[in-house]
Amino acid sequence: MTAFLRIVQLCALVVLLFTLQIPVKADDAAKALRVAVAGRPPGLGNPYSTLPIGAINPMHLLYDALTMVGEEGAILPALAVSWEHQGDDAWVFQLRPDITFSNGEVFNAQTVVDVVTYLRSEAAAGYPVANETAMIDSAELVDEFTVLIRTNRPDALLPKRMSFVYMVPMRYWNEVGVDHFGLEPAGSGPFKLKDWGQTTGFYVFERNPASWRPSAHFDEVHFFGVGDVVSRAQSMTSGQIDLSFKLSLDLLKDLKAQGFNTVARQTYSIGAWAFRQIDPESPLSDTRVRRALNLAIDRESIAKTILSAVTSPVSQVATAEVYGYNPDLPLFPYDPEAARALLTEAGYGDGLQLEALVRSDPSVPEQILIGQVVAQDLAKIGVEVRLNQVPGQRWLGHYFSGDWGSSQILETSFNNTIHGDVIRSIETASCLKAGAFFCREDMLTLIEESNKEFDTDKREVMLQNLVAALHYDPPAIYLFPYFDTLAYAPHLNELPTTGGRINMEQITVRP
């Protein structure tokens, strides 16, 4: 390495440390775990402003739900220790006793009633969590630690849905209001807020001594907002960060070569380009066109050259680990000749011009490059796609409203990570989605029947049939499962996980 390059790297590191305001040496006395994240949560401590997804989720340190999802979609106890359905439209949850929020308020069945009542109110209508639990009708107090939740339709999935409804001390919530609660949150998790870091540039959670799931080693967790992958990697190599995620595969290889522990693993969520099929004037309303676009993509080459074979191509809305995955469906082959033939049959032999909304801040660092290659593959069959990049918050607006402007395609995902069950992806690609982009009326009865079926074997077959329907009549260009990339310092033991989530409160250090 030349002296000039060493100076450039040193200057970059100084700028990085100044920007992050990370102390050069860790405070060993504080036993602080230092974690790189994209930034502060969008609603600060408001747990309902976003869905609790991602391998590293600060909200999981502050809050608990009634249940949590484990490996292969298994439903596990959390603040509820057991549950059973009563008839078709009610579930009874038995709650864990002796739980206290960090502000001293007691958790009990009344808490669940108050949380559910709030999420069903007009005040919460804009929250993603409220939309995801729209089938809940009400919650009723049975006794201090027993609550009955009624649904407006039979819902076999309700215990899994409750895994992303975090419980908060509602008396405090109502007293201080949503905005103040976000600034000074209270939960039952292993940590509580110490400082949002408006002046330091990083925010700090400290050990919650009242929690039922205490921190195994660390007294504090320091979250540093590091926006780009290069800076995240540099913060690791400089020794300023212990744990980081969403690193590019190339940088992950470099970090591994330097002695860091690294993880690259496939998630349950499918990356895709969704079609606006419901517009009858659009070429994408024709099944032949949608199948043609799927046949035009050389997924195997993308997997090898861009994704280093970390993940594999898919042709359905689920991965093999997800409940409802259909193992009998073939992959879409790379067959540009067949794609051109289908376009010609549909009346578009002279080609097409389409627009696609894609994220400028993707969930996977390689996603932008994948999008460019997909557009190139489509161009080879005469389909010219103009890529319109939008930031994440604007993308969310397009996704939830269904207003894509002049675009016919939206980069999206079929997210099965939340509860390991394919029904969420099926409902996303249906008339049931708010701002629906794909709607087949004949599927609604089948979806409703699957949600009524409490026999798990029978329900799995019903879901597999729905998945097959969405393969042969694709609502999107199916691409690849998303994948998590993580790197952590050599002094940390192997990262403990539940499902796809890192349990940061269980992280320990090597002796």
pLDDT tens profile 88-114: 889 999 999 999 999 999 999 999 999
pLDDT tens profile 5-56: 333 343 344 334 334 444 434 444 469 999 988 778 878 989 998 877 778 8
Q: Are residues 120 and 37 in the same domain?
A: no
What's 135's domain CATH number?
3.90.76.10
Q: Are residues 121 and 227 in the same domain?
A: no
Longest dimension (CA), the chain: 74
User: Do the domain assignments include residue 249?
Assistant: yes
> pTM, whole model, 2 decimals?
0.80
Q: Residue 480 contacts by C-beta under 8 Å, 6 or more apart in sequence?
A: 270, 271, 299, 302, 303, 307, 311, 312, 313, 314, 370
Domain count within the chain: 3
State the pLDDT at residue 182. 93
* Side chain identity, residue 78: A
CA separation for the pair 476, 412 (Å, rounded): 9
State the pLDDT at residue 22. 44
Q: Which two tokens stand for residue 16?
A: 């990085």
pLDDT tens profile 149-203: 999 888 888 998 899 899 999 999 999 999 999 999 999 999 999 999 877 889 9
pLDDT tens profile 332-354: 999 999 999 999 999 999 999 99
CA separation for the pair 216, 507 (Å, rounded): 7
Neighbours of 257 (CB within 10 A): 9
User: Do the domain assignments include residue 318?
Assistant: yes
> Average pLDDT, whole number, for the chain?
88
Locus of tokens 């069950």: 421
Q: Are residues 321 and 341 in the same domain?
A: yes
User: Do the domain assignments include residue 255?
Assistant: yes
Cβ atoms 105, 83 nearer than 8 A = no
Q: Are residues 293 and 413 in the same domain?
A: yes
Neighbours of 331 (CB within 10 A): 15
Q: State which H helix or E strand residue 244 sits in.
A: strand 243-245
CA separation for the pair 416, 9 (Å, rounded): 40
pLDDT tens profile 271-313: 999 999 998 889 999 999 999 999 999 999 999 888 887 888 9
Q: Are residues 281 and 194 in the same domain?
A: no
Distances (CA, A) of 443 to 7, 15, 88, 402: 62, 55, 21, 20
Band (pLDDT 50/70/90 cuts) for residue 2 is very low
Above 90 in pLDDT, residue 212? yes
User: Do the domain assignments include residue 53?
Assistant: no
Neighbours of 366 (CB within 10 A): 22
CA separation for the pair 432, 156 (Å, rounded): 17
pLDDT tens profile 400-445: 888 999 999 999 989 887 778 899 899 999 998 888 999 999 999 9
Q: Are residues 163 and 197 in the same domain?
A: no
Greater pLDDT, 251 or 113 = 113
Q: Are residues 301 and 315 in the same domain?
A: yes
The residue segments making up the domain with residue 117 are 64-174
pLDDT tens profile 228-237: 788 888 888 8
What's 499's domain CATH number?
3.40.190.10
Please give the DSSP secondary-structure letter assigned to residue 236. H
Closest to 63 measured CA to CA, from 235, 213, 174: 213
State the pLDDT at residue 6. 38
User: Do the domain assignments include residue 56?
Assistant: no
Q: Are residues 282 and 358 in the same domain?
A: yes
- Estimate the share of the chain in helix, then strand, then coil, as percent rounded to the nearest 5: 35, 25, 45
State the pLDDT at residue 453. 87
The string over 63-90, giving b where at least 16 C-beta atoms fall within 10 Å of a residue's C-beta and e elsewhere, is: bbbbbbbbeebebebbbbeebebeeebb
User: Do the domain assignments include residue 180?
Assistant: no
What's 332's domain CATH number?
3.10.105.10
Closest to 91 measured CA to CA, from 66, 121, 72: 66
State the pLDDT at residue 417. 78
Cβ atoms 6, 225 nearer than 8 A = no
Q: Are residues 157 and 237 in the same domain?
A: no
CA separation for the pair 205, 182 (Å, rounded): 14
Q: Are residues 358 and 473 in the same domain?
A: yes
Q: Are residues 495 and 458 in the same domain?
A: no
